[in-house]
Structure 1
Amino acid sequence: MSKRMMFGRGCVIAMVLALGGCQAAGVIGADRQQASPARDFTLRTDAADLGRGRRTPSTEGTHVYLLRGLAQTVSEGVDHLSVKLNALGYNTSVHPYDDHARIIEMISAETRASGGRSHAIVIGHSLGANSVVAVVNGLANRGLSADLAVTFDPTVDLAVTGGTKRFVNFYQSDNGWGRSVAAAPGQGGRVENVDLKAMEHLTHFTIDRDPQVHERVIGAIQDTISTTQTQRRP
């Protein structure tokens, strides 16, 4: 057993047992969890992490939805990333993992209100990553699409049926929890699985807070929005 797996199994055994129970229940139908009180992560955010030298597209009309895992203590990196994105001018909101139905409704409403010109980004960790797949598949059922979906270590085998222009899954194949995400027929070009097992300092409980991973996510957001905005120009 690797040190990474030993950390996940030993140092946080109570959390692991709870997480395992939630995996068995699945995202849909799991008991609703109350969101933890918001905490201020501003002082922990290094401004040097924010898109160094990258040309930033307009953030107007872009809403980034971030979904935590089982508890805020499991997914502090989601809060860190929200602070970084706010500093870049993005509108962000942080949600519990079981808020997927509400997020679908919010994206639908923003799409209608903007005449289809709004941008939706959906990001999640652990059980929140499972919910990201539920969000984009739900959008596909309505004929809608997010611009980008990003997941950190989904905990069950899932497949994307549509509902996003690009799907990037950061996971570790050897940490005891992370899973790759499959693509339904016709969706293969949209789904990217990035195995971070070479980053041995990471675990399932820290993969969402690494500054290098955040840089890659911020880059993916900026590239995706820039491409979409270019395509919309007359």
Structure 2
Amino acid sequence: MSNSSLQNKVVVVAGASRGIGLEFVKQISATNNVIFAGARNPSQAKELQDLAKKCENVHPITLDICDDDSIKKAVEEVSQKAPQGIDVLINTAGIAGPLDNATQTTREDYMSTFNTNVVSIARNISFFLPLLQKRGKDHVKKILNISSEFGSLHHRETSGANNMAAYGVSKAALNMMTEIVANELKNDNFVVYLGHPGWVATDMGGKDAALQPQDSVRGLLKVLNDVTVKDNGKFYDWQGKEMKW
């Protein structure tokens, strides 16, 4: 495995306005890559806008993964600026949902969490897939979906955690969806896999989290750089350790 960072790639990050997504943009843009930073309201994402002003290789784009029309427009914009296609799609967008356990969670909370964390990621992959496939079968393409140990049945068995039921259920489904996509694209030189960022001090993770975004993303990027087609469909944490479902 290589220790070098991502270089000379065209990357799309969904959920880039804050937290882990924004940190991905910061670190990927520091090397020789072109990055499209997708956010629902990029004009209101001050840190992202400031970064784009300093780095000509950062392109903020409007991308609401819960809206097919928004994804289509984002794909069109990326197509115009990167007509040769893209190398990497990173899906960090997601919501935590309520803190309730399974019997307390409402139908609406289950559905909204599932729609954002599973269905919308699947749709985002579907629309950006042609841009990835433009690179051809001789070129390795990568799709990273940010999951969580909360979506692991093994983690549930060992931790005994029962809160955030909607989030855990949605991430378990995301894991399955990722495996299905990985299997669908396995003969087209793709690496489609899952990443667990750890408990990170973001708006979602809270201030008590021990891991800082820059450390988590640094580790996730090393894994992203190092994975090969042999890792298609697998689940890794930010330290590069393979995780059980």
TM-score range, shorter chain: 0.3 to 0.5
Q: Which structure's residues are more often helix, by fraction?
A: 2
TM-score of the two chains, using structure 1 as the length reference? 0.46
TM-score of the two chains, using structure 2 as the length reference? 0.44
